[in-house]
Each structure stands twice: as C-alpha cells, then as structure tokens.
Chains A and B, each alone.
Chain A
Amino acid sequence: MAKDDLLGASLWDAYSNKVTTLMNNPQHQGEIFQAEAEKRGHKLIVADFGAESCGDAVRLYWEIDPKTDIIVNSKFKSFGCGTAIASSDVMTELCIGKTVAEAVKITNIDVELALRDNPDTPAVPPQKMHCSVMAYDVIKKAAGLYMGVDSESFEEEIIVCECARVSLGTVKEVIRLNNLKTVEQITDYTKAGGFCKSCIRPGGHEAREYYLVDILADTRKEMDEEKMKAAADASASGEAKFENMTLVQQIKAVDAVIDENVRQFLIMDGGNMEVIDIKKGDDYVDIYIRYMGACSGCASSSTSTLYAIESTLKDKLSKNIRVLPI
C-alpha cells in the first residue's frame, strides 16, 4: 500500500482503447454452421470452454481447409465481460490464416499483447488477465478436436500461473536461486500470482492444482532439509568448521569424537562423562563436561585425563576448544 493505492483504480479506465473498441464492436462475433462449411469443402470445429454458471463461457468456431490444415475462417460467441469479448475477438483474428499446428502455439500472452495500444502498456488491469487465458484454453481444445488428441498434450510443463504462464519448474527454481521467502517475492521475480491471484492460495477466483503458498512452503522445507543434510554430512566427514555449526551439531560432533576416542578408556576405568553445555566466546569454544562414576573424584580427571580429552577434541574439531569440567 502506498499513495497510488489509496484510491482503487477504476477497472474500466485501465482497458486499452483496443479493448474498448472491440467490446463495443467485435469484428468476428458470430457463428459458422456445419452445412456452409461442408459446402465449401471445409471442416468445422466448434469448441466450448467455461460455462455461464462459472461467469465466463466462450465458443470458438474454426473453418479448416483439410488439405492444408489452414484455418480459413474463425468466429466466436462469448458470455463474459468486456475483456472476455475483446480477448475472444482478437483470438479469432490471430487464428485466421494459420495452420492448426501454428494456432495452438498462440498463448494468452499473445492475445493480451495484441490488445495493447502500445507495446509497453498492458491492455487490461492485472485481475482481468485471466480473461485472455480462456482464449488460450479454447484454442487448445479446438486443436485437440481437429488433431484427435487430448488438449492437455499441447502443454509441455505444469503451469502454476496461467495468466503469466509460469511453470512449476520456474517457480521452484527462482525460490531456490534467489532464496525467496514470500509469495510477494515470487510475484516480483516471475509475475506469477500477479494477475487474477487464483494461484496464490486456495479460495481464490478458481481452484488450482498447485498454489504458490504450498510450493513456497514445500520448496523452503526441501531447502532446509538439504541444508541440514549437507551440514550433517560435512560434520560427519569433518569438513565443516566447528565454530559455524549449530549448537546441536556441535554437541553431536563432540559426542561423536568422545565416543570414538575417549569414552571407551573412561568406561574401562569404571567411569564416564557427559557434555553439559557448549558456550562460544570470542576466542574460545568452551565445552562443559561432567565426570561420572569412578571419574568423579579421580585425581587425574583434572590433569592428564582432562588434557587427553581436550587435545583429542582440539585435534578433531577445533584448536580453539577448551574443556571445563564442572
């Protein structure tokens, strides 16, 4: 929120002139009928997407020359708002003259670009971007019908945000590469979630298979686990610097060294020891230990045994270690 957001922008003022013009006077609105297409020796494909009860519905008509696979004519019918009608109109315009294989490459982003008055100004406000997505969906459906394949097969990757066409792989990658911690950051980096907002979290305009909040949480969890694992591996192989470990890692590392090199000798003498605490100072890392059994009260526990423990830990973990019995 800032000064520009104080007064909610007027939805309609953010439409391009092209959107306004096409809403008021769509060029390709209408129907193509089976009989007339057949008379011209062409194949008619009619595909629906959406429904009135959902708030948006479009019917796309393609008249295709079967010899060349070229879409020779295209029309649409639309139940929807101004941007839905304008998007459908531009969609049909973009289809005409293309082969079906070319047309299926038209995305919602192409539709939105074609609606712009100039290349740098979006044609519609962010929340209206989803209207153009339907144009893309219905094209895929029509192409699937013509080619006799499932329309989903045209999608090469899992799309999380359809408005900005951002894939699951891209979202995960930017989270990892840039160490992103919030959904807002994901939107800043990828534009995903910046339009109709459905993909941010459940409960939005439409239900989605993947939500940014979940992808973020899962990816962060994976990153944390990997970090922990890397740290654990490093400490096990002695690579990590003792001073930089977390307290738990330090305790584990100390215990591991004691178990391997010291404890057996103490137990042989009827004693034992435990690590009480580890405190990190500016120059030293102090490890507080407690002797148990025969060791407590043993004369060498403050001299040669202590020296042996300390020198082993210094050798294995860090020269800055001091061992303090309490």
Chain B
Amino acid sequence: MQVYLDNNATTMVDPKVVDVMLPFFSELYGNPNSLHKFGTASHPALSKAIDQVYTALNAADADDIVFTSCATESNNWVLQSVFIDHIVNGDKNHIVTTEVEHPSVLSTCKFLEEQGVKVTYLPVNEQGVVEAHVVKSFITDKTALVSIMWASNETGMIFPIKEIGEICKEKGVLFHSDGVQAIGKIPVDLSAVHVDFVSMSAHKFHGPKGIGALYIKDSQKLTPLLHGGEHMGGRRSGTLNVPFIVGMGKAIELATTNMQETMSKIRAKRDRLEDALLELSETFTIGDRENRTPNTILISIRGVEGEGMLWDLNNGEIGASTGSACASADLEANTVMLAIGADNELAHTGIRLSLSRFTTDGEIDYTISHFKDAVARLRAISSSFAKQQPTKGGEAQACEMH
C-alpha cells in the first residue's frame, strides 16, 4: 500500500478537475483576448470559473480576484507593490509580519529590508499562533502593511484573522493574509472578515499546480507585478491560462461545497491517527486540535530524528514531511520549527502528516502500524535510549554539534 500524507505540500488533482480542464488544451485553445470565435469560445467556462471562486470565498462583485501563477506570485505582488505604492511613493516605511510565514513572504520581506524597509517579524505563542494584541502593539503611523498567514503550513494552526482584520481596519493599515493553507480546509468568508488581500494556490485543494489567485478588496489600487497587456483588467498581464483557471474554479467548488461534512470526515481520520500515534511514549503534537486545520498533525517523537523517520516511512511507501534541518538542502534549521519549538528538539524530531479527502481508513490503519514499527526500529538505534552511560568525561557538552 502507498499512502500520501503530505497534502500540505501539494495534493492530487481531483479527476473531476482534470475532466473539466481537458477540452481547453486541444479543442478550445483560442486566446480569450482574440475577437474571433476561437478566442471567445472559452469565455463561458472562464466566467463560470470566476463565479466558482467568488462563490467559494463569498467575495463581493466589487472585489477583484485576479488569477496568478501561484500564491508565491500573489505574496510577492502584494509585498512588492505595497512597497512601491506606499513606501517608495508614500510616507510609510514599515511592514509587520510573523516569524512563521511561508518563505515567499519571509524572503520577500528580507529583500524589502535590503531596500530600506523596516520589517517586524512577530513571534508566535506556544500554540504556534500570533496573538492579535501583539499585532496591535507593533502597528505604528509608519506601518504600510500587516501580512499574516491564515493558517500555518507546518502546524495547521489557524490564526485570529478576524480580530487582526478589525485591528488593521481601525488603525487604517492594509492587511494581507496568505490563505494557502486555509482555503479548502476551513471556511473562508471574505464578506465576514476585513482583509485587503488574500493569496491562494489551487494545488493545495486538489487543483493543478501553476495556478493561483490574489483577492483584492474593493478593487483597490495595487500596482501590477507583471506589466504588459490588458489581461485581468490590466492587473496581471500574461495570456490567461484557460485550462488551469477552469480547473481552479472546479477545484475550489469541490473543496468548499459541503465542506463541513467533508472536513468532519477528514477530522475523524486525523484524530484517530493522532490518538494512535500519541499512544507511543514521549511524543507530543503541536496545537489544540480545535484551532487546527482538520487535516494536519505535527508530532515530535523523542529520540527519532526527522529525516531518519521520513526515510523509514518512505521505505513503507508513506509520504510525509519533516522540518528537520538535516532534510533541507542547506541544512538550515526550519525557522518555523524553531519559532514554535519548546526547545530545539522539535526542529529535529518533528514529523508532519497532512491528510486529504482522498485519505482512506485503510491508509490510516496501515500508517499507524508502519509508523509504530519505524519508531521502534529507530529508537532501538537511538543514543537517546541507550542504557550504558558514557565513561566519566565522555559525556557530550551542550551543542558541540555538526
């Protein structure tokens, strides 16, 4: 059996999504900007996709939801264009974000710091969540933008977006949220929450890779990132990626229709898996389940290094994820893990399991069994559980590590 439990990284494209995309490759391939019938033939499907996205997010007709290549582009667009509009060509000089954002936000913020922008990286609490009052205390007259994720990719923890939105509204500061891990997993109602910009990616909710969007409240000013034409009302140039837009519309519709029912099923499997893994001694998971996306578990297993655990899971054809520094190409510890870790152990022993609506009970059973075997094998090798103590003087000093 093979089990894919890395759905926070990307998801399988729903075959129903593939079906609606297929006609737009070799049958209806016209450029939607062309006047002839080849061009206009895709318009009904594009309109439908736009409707599907607006409906799924309960966006108002006065709002813009502009298709982009992915949430990384959307995040870059907001940060770089707020910099141009309100810092270079305005009197602001400050951005507030968190230590646990996706690299597409953190790296762009670092880049803006090099351009002279002041950036505040807010810490998170032991639940891995930034608290609204903390956000409030760091907003100044010079703050151009607050950028805070809706839910964490690593922990699944949901951030107090409604409260932060109210604070930003009251302070008159623009508010951006990276909604990648929230949309399709928890209800996102953009009419009930004050947020100026929201980024999203279709491949996180069983749509194709390479298509995403940026929500822009009330069609407000935001200088384009990509110049060059009239596409998307002049907001984002580049020939419309017709099949992928159509696919994203279908995917978001499927992900948000009967969401409560779908998610309660995923939650039940997730909770069962989590309960079973927590039966292992000296393990803990991050964050209250009630305030977590219903598909995510981040578990720390004492004495078992993350990459080693991933290796053994992979031998059992289970795909998971770790924030362990050893598993990254540059060996740099995962900043999110360090930010939320009670100590550094989590940064090295954390395993993330993320389910989807396609995860079956049989897969959960298989994972529980294989996971426990892997922990038993690796703990048998682990120095953390060795009994014979070191020779006097042979104890390790703190962190003389490699």
**Which secondary structure dominates where chain B touches chain A?**
loop
Do residues B383 and A59 form an inter-chain contact, with CB atoms below 8 A?
yes
Of chain B, the residue at the smallest CB distance from A8 is: B329
Does A297 count as interface, using CB distance less than 8 angstroms?
no
Does A154 count as interface, using CB distance less than 8 angstroms?
no
Stretch among A21-29, A115-123, A311-319 lining the B interface: A21-29
Assembly CA distance A46 to B396 (angstroms): 11
Do residues A77 and B401 form an inter-chain contact, with CB atoms below 8 A?
no
Assembly CA distance A54 to B344 (angstroms): 7
Give the residue among A24, A33, A50, A81 with the most B Cβ atoms within 10 A.
A81
A162 / chain B contacts, CB cutoff of 8 Å: 402
Distance in Å from the Cβ of B125 to the closest Cβ of chain A?
A: 21
Do residues A205 and B332 form an inter-chain contact, with CB atoms below 8 A?
yes
Do residues B396 and A49 form an inter-chain contact, with CB atoms below 8 A?
yes
Of chain B, the residue at the smallest CB distance from A196 is: B331
Stretch among A129-137, A230-238, A298-306 lining the B interface: A129-137
Of chain B, the residue at the smallest CB distance from A126 is: B329
Does B380 count as interface, using CB distance less than 8 angstroms?
yes
Q: Which of B331-355 contact A (CB under 8 A)?
A: 331-333, 343-345, 347-349
Do residues B303 and A79 form an inter-chain contact, with CB atoms below 8 A?
yes
Do residues B399 and A82 form an inter-chain contact, with CB atoms below 8 A?
no
Does A153 count as interface, using CB distance less than 8 angstroms?
no
Does B34 count as interface, using CB distance less than 8 angstroms?
no
Partner of A51, one of B332, B386, B396: B396
Of chain A, the residue at the smallest CB distance from B314 is: A12
Do residues A81 and B402 form an inter-chain contact, with CB atoms below 8 A?
no
Does A45 count as interface, using CB distance less than 8 angstroms?
yes
Partner of B402, one of A46, A78, A79, A134: A134
Mask, A74-92, CB within 8 Å of B = 1, is 0001111110110000000
Assembly CA distance A61 to B344 (angstroms): 27
Assembly CA distance A77 to B380 (angstroms): 8
Given contacts A84-B305, A205-B331, contact A57 B384 (CB under 8 A): yes
Assembly CA distance A196 to B308 (angstroms): 18
Does B376 count as interface, using CB distance less than 8 angstroms?
no
Stretch among B17-25, B212-220, B387-395 lining the A interface: B387-395
Given contacts A44-B391, A59-B386, A81-B307, contact A50 B400 (CB under 8 A): yes
Do residues B401 and A33 form an inter-chain contact, with CB atoms below 8 A?
no
Given contacts A11-B329, A145-B391, contact A23 B311 (CB under 8 A): yes
Give the residue among A12, A24, A32, A52 with the most B Cβ atoms within 10 A.
A52
Distance in Å from the Cβ of B189 to the closest Cβ of chain A?
A: 38
Assembly CA distance A120 to B307 (angstroms): 26
Count: A-B pairs, CB below 8 Å = 148
Interface residues on A, range: 35 or more
Stretch among B68-76, B104-112, B131-139, B319-327 lining the A interface: B319-327
Do residues A55 and B391 form an inter-chain contact, with CB atoms below 8 A?
no
A48 / chain B contacts, CB cutoff of 8 Å: 383, 390, 394-396
Partner of A45, one of B345, B383, B391, B402: B391
Do residues A130 and B331 form an inter-chain contact, with CB atoms below 8 A?
yes
A139 / chain B contacts, CB cutoff of 8 Å: none
Given contacts A31-B388, A81-B305, A205-B332, contact A51 B399 (CB under 8 A): yes
Given contacts A81-B327, A205-B325, contact A51 B388 (CB under 8 A): no
Distance in Å from the Cβ of A79 to the closest Cβ of chain B?
A: 5
A127 / chain B contacts, CB cutoff of 8 Å: 329-331
Does A100 count as interface, using CB distance less than 8 angstroms?
no
A85 / chain B contacts, CB cutoff of 8 Å: 308, 381
Do residues B380 and A29 form an inter-chain contact, with CB atoms below 8 A?
yes
Distance in Å from the Cβ of B387 to the closest Cβ of chain A?
A: 6
A114 / chain B contacts, CB cutoff of 8 Å: none
Assembly CA distance A162 to B400 (angstroms): 13
Given contacts A59-B386, A197-B331, contact A80 B305 (CB under 8 A): yes
Of chain B, the residue at the smallest CB distance from A44 is: B391
Partner of A34, one of B302, B382, B388, B393: B388
Does B398 count as interface, using CB distance less than 8 angstroms?
yes
Does B315 count as interface, using CB distance less than 8 angstroms?
yes
Does A289 count as interface, using CB distance less than 8 angstroms?
no
Q: Which of A258-314 contact B (CB under 8 A)?
A: none
Do residues B398 and A51 form an inter-chain contact, with CB atoms below 8 A?
yes
Do residues A55 and B394 form an inter-chain contact, with CB atoms below 8 A?
no
Does A142 count as interface, using CB distance less than 8 angstroms?
yes
Given contacts A32-B388, A81-B305, contact A50 B381 (CB under 8 A): no
Does A180 count as interface, using CB distance less than 8 angstroms?
no
Distance in Å from the Cβ of B78 to the closest Cβ of chain A?
A: 26
A49 / chain B contacts, CB cutoff of 8 Å: 396, 400
Assembly CA distance A45 to B388 (angstroms): 10
Do residues B331 and A145 form an inter-chain contact, with CB atoms below 8 A?
no
Partner of B326, one of A32, A78, A81: A81
Assembly CA distance A208 to B134 (angstroms): 35
Assembly CA distance A61 to B390 (angstroms): 9
Assembly CA distance A259 to B251 (angstroms): 88
Does A206 count as interface, using CB distance less than 8 angstroms?
yes
Distance in Å from the Cβ of B302 to the closest Cβ of chain A?
A: 8
Of chain B, the residue at the smallest CB distance from A142 is: B394
B390 / chain A contacts, CB cutoff of 8 Å: 46-48, 59
Assembly CA distance A295 to B348 (angstroms): 82
Partner of A78, one of B327, B383, B396: B383
Mask, A8-42, CB within 8 Å of B = 1, is 10011000000000011010010111100000000
Partner of B389, one of A46, A79, A145: A46
The 8 closest A-B CB pairs, nearest first, are A54-B401, A81-B307, A77-B383, A48-B396, A47-B394, A205-B331, A81-B326, A53-B344
Given contacts A45-B391, A56-B305, 12 further A-B contacts (CB under 8 A): A11-B327, A33-B388, A44-B388, A51-B401, A52-B384, A53-B345, A55-B344, A77-B381, A77-B386, A130-B331, A206-B401, A206-B402
User: Can you list 22 residue pairs at the A/B interface with Cβ under 8 Å?
Assistant: A11-B329, A12-B311, A24-B315, A33-B387, A45-B394, A48-B394, A50-B399, A51-B399, A52-B303, A53-B345, A53-B399, A55-B305, A55-B344, A55-B401, A57-B384, A58-B383, A79-B303, A80-B305, A80-B326, A142-B394, A205-B325, A205-B331
